[in-house]
Amino acid sequence: MQDRLEVLERAFRDALREAADLPAAVEAVRVRFLGKKGELTALLKSVGALQAALRPAAGAAINAARDRLEAALAEASAGAARSAEAASLDASWIDVSLPPRLFPRGALHPVTTTRRDLEAIFRSMGFTVETGPEVEDDRHNFEALNLPADHPARDATDTFYLPGGLLLRTHTSPVQIRTMEAVAPPIRMICPGRAYRKDLDATHLPMFHQLEALVVDEGISLADLKGTCAAVWSRFFGASVAIRLRPGYFPFVEPGCEFDVSCRVCEGKGCRVCKGTGWIELGGAGMVHPAVFEAVGIDPERYTGFAFGLGIDRIAMMRHAISDLRLLVDNDVRFLEQFAC
């Protein structure tokens, strides 16, 4: 029995040495020698076949050998655990002296920043910022603004109509009507927001952002309109921007005009955005028509006022030299990440 134990212990130590601090290999050695079907277990079961006088000494020798093997296994298991931990730490080691990894940062959309900057300019000039519903009725969107029933803007080819006589507002002018209905003059307000028309090309979108301004008080003239426009755009674009008013017709103003600024993409030299003219049309302007005042209960004999509307999207295009308005709604991350700050 003693010889068999010596052979078994040598085999055990050789196997443990080959395990080389690998936890799985050490466990395999334990199963091989000390498991339920292990070699030492089998040797212990064979004691019953010995003569009765030899059994106590054989059992004691086997138990002593088991103690030595278990002690060696405990030491090997601890060493294997330390080696595994060290390997794990080496694999996850981080050089804290390296610069940090930069992750992409979000940013406000250029149209949003443009709108906020315009709002700040108007607020500093004493204007309030008003809002209204995007789903409108015919009265606020057309009728109260003196648009006749046969006006082309009312056609289904230009306006998005909804069930129940409603529509998606074609401009933010209905907010002016709602404000004049609720607030007595003097009024100095702007109404930025989304508007909808059936149009799509490099400078038009079916959903676009508009900002309209309205001033109503006693003694307001066309000179106030021009001076306000000049003050706003010189503060927004800089003193070098050129401004012009061209005669134009709009049912809700009289007299009416078109409002242009020099193209900021080409600096007035002519490009695809301005169609070679050097100018970008921002919208219509003029003195509020007396019929509009009558529709909202304001005395046109006592009060006058001016209004103008402009496209925030086009201003964002000029500000950032964007050649195609559709880029603003494509949601291409490569395009939008240019505006991160």
Quick check: is 201 in a domain?
yes
CA 269 to CA 102: how far, in whole Å? 40
pLDDT of residue 202: 67
Predicted local distance difference test score (pLDDT) of residue 232:
93
Residue 105 included in any domain? no
pLDDT at 90: 78
In-domain check, residue 104: no
Same-domain pairing of 161 and 49: no
* pLDDT of 246: 92
Q: How many domains would you assign to the chain? A: 2
Q: Answer yes or no: is 322 within a domain.
A: yes
Q: Are residues 205 and 272 in the same domain?
A: yes
CATH number for the domain including 152?
A: 3.30.930.10
Whether residue 103 lies inside any domain: the answer is no
Same domain membership, residue 291 and residue 254: yes
Do 26 and 155 fall within a single domain? no
Confidence at residue 201, expressed as pLDDT on a 0 to 100 scale? 72
Pairing status of strand 207-217 against strand 304-311: antiparallel
Do residues 159 and 68 share a domain? no
Q: Of the candidates 40, 62, 91, which is a domain's last residue?
A: 91
DSSP conformational letter for 151: -
Q: Judge whether 225 lies within some domain.
A: yes
Distance CA 137, CA 165 (A): 7
Q: Does residue 72 form part of some domain?
A: yes
Helix/strand/coil for 216: strand
- Characterize 98-114 residue by residue with b for buried, 16 or more Cβ atoms within 10 angstroms of its Cβ, and e for exposed: eeeeeeeeeeeebbebb
Nearest to 189 by CA among 144, 112, 129, 271: 129
**pLDDT score of 1:** 61
Cα 265 to chain center, whole Å?
26
How high is the pLDDT of residue 180? Answer: 97
Considering the domain architecture, whether residues 262 and 175 belong to the same structural domain is answered as: yes
Q: In this structure, is residue 99 part of a structural domain? A: no
Boundaries of domain holding 84? 2-91
Q: Are residues 63 and 207 in the same domain?
A: no
Walking along the chain (341 residues) 10 residues at a time, the average pLDDT comes out as 74 79 78 77 71 73 78 82 79 82 79 94 96 95 91 88 93 95 96 90 81 96 93 88 90 91 78 82 90 96 95 85 82 82 63
The separation between CA 254 and the C-alpha centre of its own chain, rounded to angstroms, equals: 42
Contact 10, 68 (CB under 8 A): no
Q: Which residue has 């949601």 as its token pair?
A: 331
Place of tokens 């006693």: 218
